[in-house]
Structure 1
C-alpha cells in the first residue's frame, strides 16, 4: 500500500512547523483571515461556556484510509511535532470524558461527510505556544474513526487578521425556528439541528396530530441515505426536577422517533432516541422566551456510514 504524507505548512517569520499525518489525504481545507471560533479548554458543563478565540483561522480535515490506528496513535506524531516546537498542551480529553455529545457539538469543526466523529471514540487536544506572536499560536487537534478509516481535524489560530470577539461563547450555531428548510444542510454540515415546529401538549410526551414538514424531510433524507444513523435528543426547560425532566425529554424524543417510523415509514434501525432534560440549554431559563427555546428536540448525526 502506498503511504502518503500530508504536510500542513504553518509559516511565520519566527518559525515553520510541518504537521505530518502518514497515509493521510486532505479532504477539505478552509481559511478565514479574521474570524471567531470556539476552542474548548475544559470539560463541558452547562454553566461553563466554551472559550472563544479570534484571529486568522485555518481548518483542515485529513482522512487516513485505515481504521487500524487508535485516536491516540492518529495524533501522536502531531503532538510530538508541536511539542518540539514549543507548544504546550493545555487541555485534552476523550469521548465521554469530554462531556459527551454536548462537548462534541460545541466544536466549530468542518462537518460530515468530510470529518466523521464517533461520539464514543474521539480524542481532542488543545495546544498553545507561549509566544502570542507565533503563527499559529494555538492549535486544536481532533481525531476519530469510522469502521474503515481514521479522521483528523486540525484547527490553527494566528494573530494575523485578529478581531475583537463580538459573539458570546454560548452563541447557538443551530438554525432558528424561522429556518426549517435549513435542517438537513445544518445536520450534515454541523452534525446536529433543532427540529422546529413540533407540537407537544403541556407536560405531555405525545406528539400532536398535524403535519411536520421537517420530520417529512428527515424521513426522506434517511431513506435516501440508508447507511446514515441519527439520535433524537429531547431537551426541557429547568422547571421541575432533573429526574422528571430527563424522563420527559427522553419520552418526547421517543415519540418523534415513533412518528418517523410508524407514520412516515423511516427505518427504525437508523434512529436512536435519548433525553438530556435541562442539562443542555441554548438560552436562559430565567425568561419565558428562553424556556420556550430550551424545550426542543434535536437530531444529531452519528454517522453517514462508509
Structure 2
C-alpha cells in the first residue's frame, strides 16, 4: 500500500502557477495546490455571502444554522485538475497536512452521500449557493468523494476553506477549493470624478486614475455601471479637441505577471474602444497600454490597497 502523506505534500505551495492555468488565476496563498494540478476554472469576488456546509445535508436540502455557515468576505473559487490516478482520499489527506501546518483546524469532513448527505451534492454543484452554477465542469459527486471544511483564525481575519476532491474522470482528479477571507466590506466605493476634476488632476501630474470603470474578475468586458465614468472621460476629451492621451490599465498582483500584463492591456483597449465607438472620440487620440501590477498606487498586502491598484489611468501623451 502506498503512503498517502509523501513528499507530494511539500509541493502544496502557494503561487506556483502552471502553464495551463486559466488566464488571471492564482492559488490562494494559504492553500496552494496538489502537485502539478492545473487550474481549469477561477473566480474571485471581493465581497459577497457564502454558504459552506458544516454538517450532513439531509435529503430535503433544508439549510439552517445547524448545517451551514453563512459567511461574508472575499470569496475565491478554484477548480483544479490533478493529473493521473490520484484518489480523493490521497488528495484530501495531503491538503489536511499542508493547511494544518498553516494553522487551519478541521470543522467538518465526510465521504460520499452517506456521510455528507445526498443534498450536499445538489447544494455544491446545482444551487449556486456554494459555487457558481456549472463552475465545477465535468466533475461529479461520487461515493468516494471527500469533503473538508477548515478554518484558520488570525488577528487580521479568519479564513475558511472548503475542499472537495472527486473521483478520477478523464485521466485526472477534479478538486474544488473555495476560500472565504473574512473582512469588512469596503465603504464609499462609488467614485466618479467629473470632467473638470479629471482635467485639473491631469494638468497637475500628467496622469489621473479613474476608479469608476469596472470589470468582472479576469474579464475584459466593461460592466454597465461604468457608463458614468466613461462619460466623464469622454467629456474631458471633448472639452479639449487637441488633447491626446494614453489609456493605461492596471491590476493588483494576484495571478501571473504575464497574464496580468495581457489582461490590463486588453482592458485598456476595451476602454479606448468604448470612448471611440460610444462617445465619438477619434481613435487616433487614444493609445492603449497595460502595465499590470508594475506601477502600484498602494501596497498589495491588503485588499484596501489592491482595490486602489485595480484601476484605469489617463496619461498625457
What TM-score range do you get, normalising by the shorter chain? 0.3 to 0.5
User: With structure 1 as the length reference, what TM-score do the two structures score?
Assistant: 0.45
